[in-house]
Amino acid sequence: MNLADLIAVARGDKPADLILKNARIVNTFIGAIEEGNVAIAGEYVAGIGNYTSASQVIDLKGAYLSPGLINGHTHLESSMLHPVQYARAVIPRGTSSLVTDLHEIANVAGMKGMHFIMDWAERLPLDMFFMAPSCVPATYMETSGATIDENDIKAALKLPDVIGLGEMMNFPGVINGFPEVLNKISAAHGKVIDGHAPGVSDLQLNAYLAAGIRSDHESTKVEEGMEKLRKGMYLMIREGSSEKNLETLLPLVNEKTCRRCIFVVDDRSCSDLLAEGDIDGVVRKAISKGLDPIMAIQMVTINPSEHFRLHDRGAIAPGYIANLITFSSLSDFDINMVFYKGNLVAEGGHAVFTAPPVSAAELTDTVRVKPFARESLDLRTTKSEFPVIEIVPHQIVTQKSIEKVALHNGIVTPDIARNIAKIVVVERHKATGNIGIGLVKGFGLKTGALASSVAHDSHNIIATGIDDLDIYIAIKEIERLNGGLVVCNKGVILASLPLPVCGLLSHDPLEIVVSQLNKVETAAATLGNLPPAPFALLSFLALPVIPELKLTDLGIVDVLAFKLIS
**Is 272 contained in some domain?**
yes
* Predicted local confidence at residue 235, as pLDDT: 98
Q: How confident is the model at residue 361 (pLDDT cuts 50, 70, 90)?
A: confident
> Closest Cα partner for 499 from 79, 146, 175?
79
Same domain, 220 and 79: yes
pLDDT of residue 323: 98
Residue 439 in contact with residue 459, Cβ under 8 Å?
no
- CA 428 – CA 21 distance, rounded (Å): 56
CA 417 to CA 445: how far, in whole Å?
Answer: 10
Q: Residue 178: its pLDDT value, please?
A: 94
Distances (CA, A) of 14 to 8, 9, 51, 52, 57: 5, 5, 10, 11, 15
Shared domain check, 97 and 117? yes
Let me know: does 72 contact 262? Beta carbons within 8 Å. Answer: yes
Number of separate domains in the chain = 3
Assigned domain for 327 exists: no
Q: What pLDDT is stored for residue 408 in this prediction? A: 85
Residue by residue, DSSP assigns 437-481 as EEEEESS-BSS-EEEES--TTT--EEEEES-HHHHHHHHHHHHHH
pLDDT value of position 243: 83
- Asked whether residue 351 is domain-assigned, the answer is no
The domain in which residue 240 lies consists of 68-310
Are residues 265 and 386 located together in one domain of the fold? no
Q: Does one domain contain both 39 and 124?
A: no
Q: How many CB atoms lie within 10 A of CB 414?
A: 23
Domain boundary among 310, 334, 353: 310
Pairing of β 406-408 and β 411-413: antiparallel
Please name the helix (run of DSSP H) or strand (run of DSSP E) that holds residue 207, with its range, or none.
helix 202-209
What end-to-end distance do the CA atoms of the chain give, in Å?
A: 63
Range with lowest mean pLDDT among 26-30, 484-488, 536-540: 536-540
The chain-wide mean pLDDT, for the chain, equals 95
Q: How many CB atoms lie within 10 A of CB 53?
A: 13
Is 80 exceeded by the pLDDT of residue 78? yes
DSSP per-residue letters across 483-548: SEEEEEETTEEEEEEE--BTTTBB-S-HHHHHHHHHHHHHHHHTTBSPPSSHHHHHHHTT-TTSSS
Q: Is the pLDDT of residue 566 over 90?
A: no
CA distances from 481 to 229, 452, 453, 471, 491 (A): 45, 11, 10, 16, 17
Residues 77 and 99 in one domain: yes
How many other CB atoms are there within 10 angstroms of residue 105's CB atom? 30
pLDDT given at position 545:
86
pLDDT at 210 over 90: yes
293 shares a domain with 145: yes
Q: Would the pLDDT of 280 be above 90?
A: yes
Q: How wide is the angle at C-alpha 117 spanned by C-alphas 114 and 120, nearest 5°?
A: 145
CATH of the domain at 8: 2.30.40.10
Q: What is the mean pLDDT of residues 54-82?
A: 97
pLDDT at 562: 85
Four-point Cα dihedral 122, 322, 346, 83, nearest 10? 20
Instruction: Work out the pLDDT band at 196, boundaries 50, 70, 90.
Output: very high
pTM exceeding the 0.85 threshold for the entire prediction: yes
Task: Fill in the amino acid letter for 523.
Answer: A
Say if CB 112 and CB 429 are below 8 A apart: no
In terms of domains, do 24 and 96 share one? no
**How many other CB atoms sit within 10 Å of the CB of residue 409?**
7
223/125 same-domain check: yes
Distance between CA 376 and CA 492 in Å, rounded?
20
> Mean pLDDT, to the nearest integer, of 32-50?
97
* Mean pLDDT computed over 153-159: 94
Q: What's the CA gap between 25 and 301, in Å, rounded?
A: 14
Q: Within a domain: residue 355?
A: no
* Residues 223 and 299 occupy one common structural domain: yes
Q: Are residues 303 and 443 in the same domain?
A: no
Query: Among the three residues 295, 310, 325, which one is the final residue of a domain in this structure?
Result: 310
pLDDT of residue 161: 93
1 has pLDDT over 90: no
Please tell me whether residues 54 and 83 are part of one structural domain: no
Q: Contact, 58 vs 89, CB < 8 A?
A: no
Q: How far is CA 559 from the centre of its chain?
A: 21
pLDDT band at 448 (very low <50, low <70, confident <90, very high): very high
Residue 394 has pLDDT above 80, yes or no: no
pLDDT for residue 384 is more than 90? no
Residue at which a domain ends, from 310, 326, 341: 310
Q: How large a percentage of the chain has pLDDT more than 70?
A: 100
Average pLDDT value for residue range 342-363? 90
What pLDDT does 283 receive?
98
d(CA 279, CA 98): 10
Mean pLDDT computed over 287-312 = 98
